[in-house]
Structures are given as C-alpha cells and as structure tokens.
Amino acid sequence: MSNKTIAYFCLHKVNKAKFKYTVLRKKILNILKYLAFTLLGVFLFWLVYRGQDFSQILNTLKHDVDYRWVVLSLFVGLLSHISRTLRWKIALEPLGEHPRTANTFIAVIASYFMNLLLPRMGEFARCGLLSKYEKIPFSKLFGTVVTERIVDIIMLFLLLLTVSIVEMDKVIEFGKQNPGVVENIRTIVRSPWLWGGFIAIILGIIVYIKLSKKKGKKNKLEEIITDFTDGIKSVLTMRRYKAYIAHTFFIWSMYFLMLYLVFFSFGFTSHLGPLAGLTTFVMASFGMVAPVQGGIGAWHFMVEKSLYLYGIESVNGKIFALLAHSSMNIMVIITGAICIVLLPVINKNYHPKQPDVPM
C-alpha cells in the first residue's frame, strides 16, 4: 500500500471521527440545553408554590371547581388554533403555496407541543413538518412565521397599552409590588449584548454574501435569505389581508376567552369582570416569554400577582394558575401527540401539487 493511499485512509478515518464527535457534541449540547430549561422551569415553579399545602390545593381542585367552564375554555382554545391555521394558509397564498388544511393544522398543533419540550422549538418544528409533507422550502415558511410573530407581538403590546390606559392604577400597583419583574424587562431591552449580537449577525451575513459573489460561487445562504424575505413580504402582498387581520383579532380574542372562562369555574374569581381578565391575560402573556417550557413557573407567578391586584388571596391565585395552565397544556399534549401520530398516516399516498407562480 502506497504512502498516498495510507495518508488518504488515515485522513478519511480522522474526518469520520470528527463527524461523529460533532454529532455527539451537538446531541449532548441539546440534552444539556433541554435539562437547563427544564430545571429553570421547575425552580420557578418551586419558588411560586413553596410552602403551599398541596392537600388543600388538591381538595379545592376536586370539590370546588366547575369543570364545565374549563371544558368550554379548551374548546375556545381549539378555535384559536384552527384560526391560526387558516391565517397561515392566507399568508402562503401570495407565494403560490396552498398546503392542505389538515397538514397545516397538525403543524400548528405540533408547534405548541414542541414548545413544551424545548422553548422556541415549536416554530422550527412547525415549518419543518409542513416543509416535509408539502415540499415547501423551510426558509419560505419560516419567513411567514416570523411575520406572524411580529404581528402577534404588536397585538400583545396593543393589549398592554389598552390595559395601561383603562387599568392604569393596577399596572402601577403591579410595578410597585414586583420591581424585580420590571427591572428584568428593562435589563433585557437595554442589553448591549442583545443588540450587539443582532448587529453582528446581520453584518456577518452581508459580508458572507459579498465575498461569495466575488468568488463567483453559488450562494446557498443568499437563496435561503431570499426565500425568507419572500415569506415576510408575502403578508404585505396578500390579497386577503382583511381576512388575515380578522383572524389575528379572532385568535387573540380566543386566547383571552380561554383564560377568562376559567374565572367562572371558581367561586373566588367568578365575580371578576372582563377588565380583570384582560389584565391577568396580558401579564400572563409576558410570563410566556420566559425561556422555560410552556412558561412554567413564570406564567403562574404573573397570574397569581395579577389576581392579587383584584383582591384574590395568594393561595387562591396559585390554585387558579395551576388549573388554567395545566388544562391548557394537557390539551396541547393530547392533541399534539394524536396529530403527530396521524401525520404520516394521512400523507401516506399524498403528493403535494406544484406551487402556483406568484404574481
């Protein structure tokens, strides 16, 4: 065997070992990331419920809850998922893509399911599933999802503005009672690392594209960015923009009702009006921003503190938060598991149509 052959063989072995190491390292990092988020969520949950008499909580949940309101709440939540499915299909129309409603709905449900396993993973899973079964470029799908998130953030801040105006005294009181929460939000927004990292990524992408063009290479990254921006721009060029806006308001109305209906399942919250429900809903929504699965701990904290502003005792606020959060996530787990199992079955003999040529 020649020296050249031996060198090639050794190099092949080294590259193979490096590849295995890279894959193993990635898996280990993902596991550690998952464990870190899980432990953080468990720690926050423990902080909220430490010192509580769980026998009292279980007794209340067993005897003092009208579960008919909880079931109605979950039905309303399901309507929001259906509306989000239809809204996504509308956003894809300008791109010439018309995925099946069943596949789109399952992808949406799977996104909520995956977010319970790993925060922010749902958006990637959602696009990945639809891309796999509908043969739509992932980056194009992801662009429409990013636009969705921007629209949803705008809706959340509009609701926050509404609450700040009509319930200003409650918002001020919340800030006084929870200065740590307000300070954490300020720290995140003002973080030089956040904005510096964002700028560095944008500059890095620009430099990479320009260098690739000079070398005359086919730039895969540029193709991905083009698909991504097309996905974002699709919302601006859609013909059915009124339907898109209507679905957006419907989705957030159902989100609000999903929480507010649970108020009527308890005697101690049934007397509270829609404004109390809206304040609790908005504050709880910011709890979902925390990097933990399903907002566990952070969501409970925000709900308990919000209800306290309306005279609900801390222990009752925690019981309410536990039931509302658990029921929502149980529905997501059950529907998500069923949908993921059904997805390959309903697509067994399905062949997606070629996309229309966008105008």
pLDDT tens track for 298-321 = 888 889 888 988 888 888 888 999
Q: End-to-end CA distance of the chain, in Å?
A: 61
Token representation of residue 172: 């001020």
Q: CA dist 166 to 142, 162, 170, 171, 279, Å?
A: 36, 6, 9, 10, 10
Please tell me the predicted confidence (pLDDT) of residue 290: 64
Residue ranges of the chain whose pLDDT lies below 70: 1-53, 119, 177-198, 200-236, 289-294, 354-359
Amino acid making up residue 88:
W
Please tell me the predicted confidence (pLDDT) of residue 42: 59
Residue with tokens 């009527």: 264
> What is the pTM assigned to this prediction?
0.74
Question: Per residue in 238-260, pLDDT tens?
Answer: 788 889 999 999 999 999 999 99
Please tell me the predicted confidence (pLDDT) of residue 13: 56
